[in-house]
Structure 1
C-alpha cells in the first residue's frame, strides 16, 4: 500500500507554456531529497486538462524514468469520457506507473450508477492498481460513499483520494471500507486529521512548496503521534489556505517559481497569479520557513 506524503506535482512550463522537461527532472530530484514519499504526475495540479494526450503520456513516462523506482509514481489518468480514461490508463501502465489516479467525470454529471460503471469499466480494461478521486468542488460531480463501497469490491480499485474536506464523511468511509482499501486526503487543511482517523496519506498541493514539512507531518500522523503531527502542520497552515487564493495550480506554480523550481509558465485558460495575492503567498512561504525575508 502506498502511504505518506504524495505530492500532486506541478507540470513545470516555460513562459511560453511548453512543458519544461529539464525542470521536471529537477523537481523530481528535489522531492526525493526532501523526503516526499510518492509522486502523483499529471493530476489536477499538473494541469492534466490542458495537456495533449501525447504530452500527458510523455510526462508520466519521464517521471517514471527519472524516479527509477525510488518512490512510487501515481499517474493521473482520469477523464470525463470513459474511453479516454481507459486510453490514458493504458499509456500509464505501459510507461511503468505504479498506480493510476482517476478523477470523477467532470461537466457531464453522471449518476451514481454511471460512476460505478465508468470506474468498473476502466478497472476491467487495464490491470493496474487504480485510485478513485472525488473532488466535487471542481467537477460538479460527487461520488457518494455507497458508490465507493461498491467499487471497493472491484479487484484492482485499491483506494480513493477524498478531496471533500468533510472529516465526518471521510471517517464514515474509512470505517465502512475493507482494511486493504486506502483512503487518501486530497484536502491539505484537513489531511492530518483524516490520517489520524485512519487515512493512509495526503495527495498534497502544499507538498510542492514545503515537501519536508508535509512528509514529516504525514509520518507523525501515520505513527499516531497527533500532537507532533499537528505541531508540524501548524507551521504550514498559511500555505494550505493561500495556495488556493486563486484556482489551483495558479498560486502553487507562482510559489514554486519564487523558489527557483520552475518558471511562471502556465497554460490558458489559467493565468499567472494576480499581483495583489503575491504578498500573501510570499508571507505564507516565509512563515513556513521555505523562503527567506
Structure 2
C-alpha cells in the first residue's frame, strides 16, 4: 500500500458558532493541506466520538466532493463494539475511500486474544484494506508486538498506526512483520526516529496547521536525510508538545484559529483552549513561520547562485 507512505493529515472537524459542521472552513482546511500525501477523515482528531453518523457521512461526502486531485482518503470506522464496526463496513457507502482506519477497542480493555479476534472479524468483513490503530493512551490497552505481528498476516490488514510512544516496540514490529506491512507513526514528535528505523510515514495532527513544514521533514526522513529532518523537527518540537497540553484537538484547533484556517470551537465534554495556551501557540507559530521563510529564502538563494 504505497498509497499511504508519507504524510497523512488527520483532519479536524471545524464547527460553527451554532455547533454545526462548518463546511466552508473545512474546504479551507482541505485547500491548506492539499500537498499532503493523503487525508484521514473521521479519526480521533476529527472528534469522531462526538459526531453523529449522519455528520460523519456528510463530512466524508464533502471531502470526496472537494478533492480535485483525487488525493487518497482513509476513513475512520472503529468502536469497542465489533458488531457495530462490521455493520458500518458492510452497509455504509464507502465509494471513493481507499482504506479504513480502525482504532483498537477502548474502555472494555480486551485481552490480546480479544484484539486479534476483533480485528480478524473486521478485516474479514471490510470491503477495503484495514489499518490497525494502536493508541493505548486513549484505549487503555496496548496492542503487543505479538498481536500486531499475528494480524499482519491477514491479507486485508496492510499496516498499523502506532501512537504507543515506544520506539523499541516500533523496531520490534518493523523487524518482525512483512516488508510490505506499513508502520505509520501516530506520534508527531517521534516521527523522525520512527522513520529512521524503517517506518513508512505518519498520520499527523501537527500537519493540519504546518503541512508544508512537517511534510518536508517527513520527506527528508524517508529519503534518508535523518540529520536534516531532525534539525527541522527540532524547530517544531515545543510547538508540537504545546498542541497536546490541553488535549487533542483542543490545541490544534487553537493553532488553526491563529493561522486563520478555522475556528477553535470544540464539542463538549471538550472545552476551548485557555488564553495562556493560545498566547503560547501564537508566539511559537509565528517563530516557526519566520524560520521557514528564512530557510526558503536561503535555499532559493543558494540554488540561484550555485557554481
Say yes or no: does 1:24 pair with 2:26.
yes
Deviation of 1:92 (Å): 6.2
- Decide whether aligned partners of structure 1 residues 91 and 195 sit closer, same or farther in structure 2, where only a CA change above 3 A counts: farther
Say yes or no: does 1:10 pair with 2:45.
no
Point out where structure 2 has 5 or more consecutive residues left out of the alignment: 293-307
Point out where structure 1 has 5 or more consecutive residues left out of the alignment: none
| Equivalent-residue separation in structure 1 for 2:36 and 2:245 (angstroms) | 24
Trace 1:1-293 onto structure 2 (pairs within 5 A).
1=2, 2-32=4-34, 35-90=35-90, 94-289=94-289
| Equivalent-residue separation in structure 1 for 2:213 and 2:162 (angstroms) | 21
Deviation of 1:229 (Å): 1.1
- Decide whether aligned partners of structure 1 residues 290 and 212 sit closer, same or farther in structure 2, where only a CA change above 3 A counts: farther
Deviation of 1:264 (Å): 2.1
Deviation of 1:68 (Å): 4.2
Counterpart of 2:299 in structure 1 is: none
Deviation of 1:242 (Å): 0.5
| Equivalent-residue separation in structure 2 for 1:19 and 1:65 (angstroms) | 16
| Equivalent-residue separation in structure 1 for 2:91 and 2:76 (angstroms) | 11
Q: Larger C-alpha radius of gyration, 1 or 2? A: 2
> Residues 209 and 255 of structure 2 are in contact (CA less than 8 Å); yes or no, is this contact kept in structure 1?
yes
Q: Secondary structure at the match of 2:94?
A: helix
Deviation of 1:91 (Å): 5.9
RMSD: 1.7
CA deviation string 1:241-283 (max 9, x = no partner)? 0000111000101110111111222111111002222222112
| Equivalent-residue separation in structure 1 for 2:46 and 2:125 (angstroms) | 25
CA deviation string 1:45-83 (max 9, x = no partner)? 000000011111221222122224532111111111112
| Equivalent-residue separation in structure 1 for 2:284 and 2:102 (angstroms) | 31
| Equivalent-residue separation in structure 2 for 1:219 and 1:25 (angstroms) | 25
| Equivalent-residue separation in structure 2 for 1:151 and 1:216 (angstroms) | 32
| Equivalent-residue separation in structure 2 for 1:261 and 1:194 (angstroms) | 29
Bigger drift between 86-95 and 21-30 goes to 86-95
- Decide whether aligned partners of structure 1 residues 120 and 192 sit closer, same or farther in structure 2, where only a CA change above 3 A counts: same
Q: Secondary structure at the match of 1:108?
A: coil
Deviation of 1:239 (Å): 1.8
TM-score normalised by the chain length of structure 2: 0.90
Q: Secondary structure at the match of 1:229?
A: helix
TM-score normalised by the chain length of structure 1: 0.94
CA deviation string 1:184-241 (max 9, x = no partner)? 0000111111011111101111101111011111111111111111122122112210
Deviation of 1:287 (Å): 2.4
- Decide whether aligned partners of structure 1 residues 260 and 181 sit closer, same or farther in structure 2, where only a CA change above 3 A counts: same
> Residues 78 and 88 of structure 1 are in contact (CA less than 8 Å); yes or no, is this contact kept in structure 2?
no
